Structure 1
Amino acid sequence: MGNDATTGSTEAYRRFLRARDLLLAHREDYEKARAEFAWPEFTEFNWALDWFDRIAAEERNATRPALWIVEEDGSENRWTFPELARRSNQVANWLRTLGVRRGDRLILMLGNQVELWETILACIKLGAVIIPASTLLGPADLRDRVERGNARHVVVRDADTGKFADVAGDYTRVAVGRPTEGWESFADAYSADEAFSPDEPTRADDELLLYFTSGTTAKPKLVRHTHVSYPVGHLSTMYWIGLEPGDVHLNISSPGWAKHAWSNVFAPWNAEATVFLYNYERFDASALMEQIDRCGITSFCAPPTVWRMLIQADLTGLRNPPRKVVGAGEPLNPEVIDQVKQAWGVTIRDGFGQTETSVQIANTPGQPVKAGSMGRAVPGFEVVLVDPATGEPGREGEICLDLRSRPVGLMTGYAGDDERTETVFAGGYYHTGDVGAIDDDGYITYVGRTDDVFKASDYRISPFELESVLLEHEAVAEAAVVPAPDPVRLAVPKAYMVLANGYEPDAATAESILRFSREHLAPYKRIRRLEFADLPKTISGKIRRVELRGRENAKGEARGEREFREEDFPSLKAAAEKNHSNR
């Protein structure tokens, strides 16, 4: 079969299109979308053949860019939907000659370059299983992925081939870029046939993606997704962002992590939108906003780290802000949302999901946004807050998905770990490990990870709530709150923080922040200790509070190098004692 309207299954295409178009039709009508949307059901489905190649064959997409990449030096390239359909056919045919077969696992370790998207589409067409990998990974991480992932093939940048020198295994080696001794050259793929025929139909429940999680609290888990759980599941992500045909969507995310697949592959191409990338060595807010203006970006998604860096710059320099702006990865603090709204006139809409799922909860287009809330359950997801003590639904508890109406956008489990899979699916729910609170309108507010929430003086403390207040102080760029051992209260809130430009990590700054904490937090919540230090993060950018907790437990009552405490400042100590005597 060639790359034309006969490629793939017509019925699968129509089912997917109906579900997609219903969400587009009710893009700003949350109630109707919730009531009328149903996940399309498939026995067989191949997103690259049944959807991508189909829309590539439509006249409306004949010249529309599917992918647009701008480099830091100003050079750029665009590839239309038909071009990527043909090129991915060539890559699929060529990989087949190298022995890549249905069910084979392939480590894909590329930057934001066209070969990444070509290989993703090619692997889907072949039925190969993709193990996405960040280019920041080192030999030890790659050894783990080859061994635990049972990888039979790797496709990597020429610059990263040396990392595999000591990674044992019988796997095909493919290098993208300059010819590399002992490695197949990806450039040879472009001499292959432009027409691709699958060896057999793809079952909807066949494995497609195997994600190693970022490991914020433990050794990375292997999240297993199918040919529907991410490609079809990300209809919910498309709906959250508000993507439509013709949008130009910029998502700040590195290849190898789930969010890249969310918003740089499936959600935008489900909507027939253009995926836009701006490659840079070091983040420069002004340069990024210049590209957003020049290229007419209509939709923008970034993690909290990037949003926090953006508000340090002059946001008013962006003349034509995108009208759809969202944040994901970790909840956004209200202070960031307020500053962007003042400068751009648009509200950043939070979304909540995991590597294990597509978007579950979000502030969707056209709906009221409540300060501090990450929104409501999106169409296709039934969210329940389960009390950890009783196992019963409540107003506050662990964010869970009701498996009686299992959403398509949910993993099948953890590869090679039946015990962990059983635990996370216990009691008829999928357990996210995150805690939230729900109001009468169904809006859910994030409280924290189950293992981040702690008690101080017998009060339950949400680090996220305290961090949100700290970020309102002009000197604070980033903050992470953890419990510090205390002989009287068992634990007290301590903040590790990175300062904004122009502020010194000295006693005056510390006193100002601690005073601000006293004025804006209840007595039992206030920050009693702070330390100026870089925050440990995963290579996907998430703060590793587990490492900070470990530091505190190891130190006990000992001080950090640049640590300050309430009792260091007489005025604060006197106010604290007065407050205590009046309680």
Structure 2
Amino acid sequence: MIEKYLKKTDFENFDDFKANYELNIPQDFNFAYDVVDGWAAKEPNKRALLWTNDQGESRSYTFSDLKEITDRTAGYFASLGIGKGDMVMAILKRRAEFWFTIIALHKIGAVIIPATHLLTSKDIIYRANAASIKAIVCDGDPIIIDHVNQAMPDSPTIEKQISIGPIIPEGWDDFHAGISQAQPFERPAEPTANHDPIIVSFTSGTTGDPKMVMLDSVYPLAHIVTAKYWQNLHENSIHLTIADTGWLKAVWGKLYGQWLVGATVFVYDHEKFAPADILEVLSKYRVTSLCAPPTIFRFLIREDMTRYDLSALEWCTIAGEALNPEVYERFYQLTGIQLREGYGQSETTLTVFTSPWVQPKPGSMGLPNPHYDIDLMTAEGVPAKAGEQGQIVIRYGEKYPAGLFNGYYRNQTLTDEAMSEGIYYTGDLAWKDEDGYFWFVGRADDVIKSSGYRIGPFEVESALMTHPDIVECAITGIADEIRGQIVKATVVLAHDRKHKAGEQLAKEIQDHVKQVTAPYKYPRVIEFVEELPKTISGKIRRVEIRAQDLS
């Protein structure tokens, strides 16, 4: 399949990849028809999706199954008045219906807005009005149903509420009854243009209201690198990405690139994360590839992994936050598998990563993806030298790269702030070593300037996380008359270590950091808390910690 979209698919080394990777973008590309239905025509019995849950249930879908189901799902949506360009919110957890819904909406040319089940009625109201959402498709969980119902009086654009069950409230449409009776949707005569939007994703930034990232029809093609050259997938792979479908990480790891290379997408639908259960399903279903945030791996390595048969596991990748080196080392000791980091944003696909051709450097993001023109730019607007911090930027010219977002929907001001004179500014700082590997520093607004030093929160947090008593932490700067700013650590202790909170442990932690990293970075202030303030997507809100310190 990917041969249709790449000038060259096999590379000898990273230099070859860097020099010769080139995406071939067809006119009027539509992932649903060209890839999903394409596989159904080519290999109808090829397994596309293996869905399991924490109740012991499992269901397998071939590409032929998906074509039949999504044709009828698209026909059902069309019968409800959903058409090209309409905005549809999907709150579907890890249910198989997410895949039916997103592919069906792609066939229609409608726009999906993935949303987490953690949204409150206030969150739904904001999104509904910001994007003029026409319909909501959601899991029939009583809490989700209640939040949607509470939002309805203040969400005038919503015309249809569709539940996949088990609860189908009065006034709601029944998803499964609808598709069982629907006529299959026929591909429209008017094609989906490459610039047409297919996803609007609400980013959960650490400041302000969520922004609406607009992604177009060719966005899926940029994820070939994600699946083929980062996750190292092939047609016999069974790949699990641990992510809720409310986040874009789901389409990074549970849809586009994976099906472009012909891998099986494995889904473990669970309500509560338990590391032992993850290890059990990896063993039982012979999963070959796993992608998850470093936090997940931190929990996995605390289990007795020798109890599980992980012999089928070939490859592991991490994303969502930077990797602490001690997690890398311990997982490698236990499995012989090197964790390979990847970095990107909602506004991009994979931009920096550790490919199969290169040796991972624990804690490094890896090397820039040659699909994009990536650079590190200093505050003076010049490329950063080796060892020098700079903001990660993507240069774009007349040939706008597939995968880079098309601006913030309905917010030209924010778009202009992020994109100007052919450059997209990510807002993330990094430095590169002599080999060209990037090392994450932090958000530009989070960097601490103390006594002439520029200190990135992540490097101090990495040092703190090697202390056995700490399970979570956040580094911020607080004003200081002498040094300008000093480093503060807000720390969450392990449950069985909470009784140790106090001056003695604080001193011990400070001494520990001085041994692990450069002494000038150590936190001069340590605060022990029960939990850290976070966004709805789990990102630490350092801005809230800073605000509390000023109050």
Please report the TM-score for the alignment, with normalisation by the length of structure 1: 0.88
The answer (yes or no) to whether the contact 1:315–1:340 under 8 Å persists in 2 is no
Instruction: Identify the residue that residue 115 of structure 1 maps to in structure 2.
Output: 97
Instruction: Identify the residue that residue 408 of structure 1 maps to in structure 2.
Output: 402
Matches within 5 A, 1:106-255: 106-159=88-141, 160-165=144-149, 166-167=151-152, 168-170=155-157, 171-177=159-165, 178-187=167-176, 188-194=178-184, 196-229=186-219, 231-238=220-227, 239-255=229-245
Q: CA deviation at 1:195?
A: 5.9
Instruction: Identify the residue that residue 516 of structure 2 maps to in structure 1.
Output: 520
Distance in 2, matches of 1:304 and 1:180, equals 39
Give the letter for the 1:133 counterpart.
A
Q: 1:406 to 1:446 in 2, by over 3 A?
A: farther
Q: CA deviation at 1:501?
A: 4.8
Q: Percent identity?
A: 35
1:509 and 2:478 are equivalent in the alignment: no
1:429 and 2:413 are equivalent in the alignment: no
Q: CA deviation at 1:292?
A: 0.3
What SS does the aligned partner of 1:203 have? coil
From 530, 546, 549, the counterpart of 1:549:
546
Distance in 1, matches of 2:195 and 2:72, equals 26
1:18 and 2:4 are equivalent in the alignment: yes
- Please, which moves more after superposition, 249-258 or 385-394? 385-394
From 47, 53, 59, the counterpart of 1:71:
53
Instruction: Identify the residue that residue 579 of structure 1 maps to in structure 2.
Output: none
Give the letter for the 2:19 counterpart.
A
Summarize deviations over 1:472-492 as a string: whole Å, max 9, x none.
122222221111233432321
- Please, which moves more after superposition, 81-90 or 191-200? 191-200
Summarize deviations over 1:420-464 as a string: whole Å, max 9, x none.
111211232111000111233221111111011111222111111
Distance in 1, matches of 2:225 and 2:347, equals 14
Summarize deviations over 1:112-140 as a string: whole Å, max 9, x none.
11111001000000000111111110111
Matches within 5 A, 1:477-516: 477-504=471-498, 505-507=500-502, 508-516=504-512
Q: 1:523 to 1:223 in 2, by over 3 A?
A: same
Distance in 2, matches of 1:406 and 1:155, equals 33
Q: 1:393 to 1:519 in 2, by over 3 A?
A: closer
1:466 and 2:460 are equivalent in the alignment: yes
Q: CA deviation at 1:392?
A: 4.6
The answer (yes or no) to whether the contact 1:485–1:553 under 8 Å persists in 2 is no
Distance in 2, matches of 1:500 and 1:290, equals 25
From 97, 102, 122, the counterpart of 2:79:
97
Q: CA deviation at 1:300?
A: 0.3
Q: CA deviation at 1:179?
A: 2.7
Distance in 1, matches of 2:168 and 2:440, equals 49
Q: CA deviation at 1:69?
A: 1.7
Instruction: Identify the residue that residue 387 of structure 1 maps to in structure 2.
Output: 378
From 355, 362, 378, the counterpart of 2:353:
362
The answer (yes or no) to whether the contact 2:323–2:362 under 8 Å persists in 1 is no
Q: CA deviation at 1:519?
A: 2.3
Q: CA deviation at 1:389?
A: 2.5
The answer (yes or no) to whether the contact 1:268–1:275 under 8 Å persists in 2 is yes
Summarize deviations over 1:555-574 as a string: whole Å, max 9, x none.
xxxxxxxxxxxxxxxxxxxx
What SS does the aligned partner of 2:8 have? helix
What SS does the aligned partner of 1:503 have? helix
The answer (yes or no) to whether the contact 1:241–1:326 under 8 Å persists in 2 is yes
Q: CA deviation at 1:197?
A: 2.6
The answer (yes or no) to whether the contact 2:87–2:135 under 8 Å persists in 1 is yes
Instruction: Identify the residue that residue 295 of structure 2 maps to in structure 1.
Output: 305
Instruction: Identify the residue that residue 68 of structure 2 maps to in structure 1.
Output: 86
Q: 1:471 to 1:317 in 2, by over 3 A?
A: farther
The answer (yes or no) to whether the contact 2:365–2:440 under 8 Å persists in 1 is yes
The answer (yes or no) to whether the contact 1:305–1:541 under 8 Å persists in 2 is no
Q: CA deviation at 1:380?
A: 0.9
Distance in 2, matches of 1:318 and 1:20, equals 38
The answer (yes or no) to whether the contact 1:68–1:78 under 8 Å persists in 2 is yes
Give the letter for the 1:149 counterpart.
A
Distance in 1, matches of 2:25 and 2:501, equals 60
Q: 1:101 to 1:337 in 2, by over 3 A?
A: same
Q: 1:146 to 1:190 in 2, by over 3 A?
A: same
Q: 1:388 to 1:427 in 2, by over 3 A?
A: farther
Distance in 2, matches of 1:290 and 1:128, equals 38
Q: CA deviation at 1:551?
A: 1.8
What SS does the aligned partner of 1:136 have? coil
Summarize deviations over 1:489-528 as a string: whole Å, max 9, x none.
2321111122235323423433322221232333321122
Distance in 2, matches of 1:164 and 1:294, equals 37
The answer (yes or no) to whether the contact 1:20–1:235 under 8 Å persists in 2 is no
Instruction: Identify the residue that residue 456 of structure 1 maps to in structure 2.
Output: 450
Which runs of 5 or more structure 2 residues have no equivalent in the other structure?
A: none
Distance in 1, matches of 2:488 and 2:404, equals 35
From 26, 29, 39, the counterpart of 1:45:
29
Q: CA deviation at 1:553?
A: 2.3
Q: CA deviation at 1:279?
A: 2.2
Aligned residues: 535
- Please, which moves more after superposition, 246-255 or 389-398? 389-398
What SS does the aligned partner of 1:360 have? strand
Distance in 1, matches of 2:364 and 2:293, equals 16
- Please, which moves more after superposition, 379-388 or 167-176? 167-176
Instruction: Identify the residue that residue 338 of structure 1 maps to in structure 2.
Output: 329
The answer (yes or no) to whether the contact 1:254–1:540 under 8 Å persists in 2 is no
Distance in 2, matches of 1:499 and 1:316, equals 27
The answer (yes or no) to whether the contact 1:20–1:270 under 8 Å persists in 2 is no
What SS does the aligned partner of 1:451 have? helix
Q: CA deviation at 1:330?
A: 1.2
Instruction: Identify the residue that residue 441 of structure 2 maps to in structure 1.
Output: 447
Give the letter for the 1:138 counterpart.
T
- Please, which moves more after superposition, 214-223 or 192-201? 192-201
What SS does the aligned partner of 2:36 have? helix
From 343, 348, 356, the counterpart of 2:339:
348
What SS does the aligned partner of 1:398 have? strand
Q: CA deviation at 1:53?
A: 0.5
- Please, which moves more after superposition, 542-551 or 261-270? 542-551
Summarize deviations over 1:360-396 as a string: whole Å, max 9, x none.
0100113111233111112312211111223555443
Give the letter for the 2:286 counterpart.
G
Distance in 1, matches of 2:277 and 2:474, equals 28
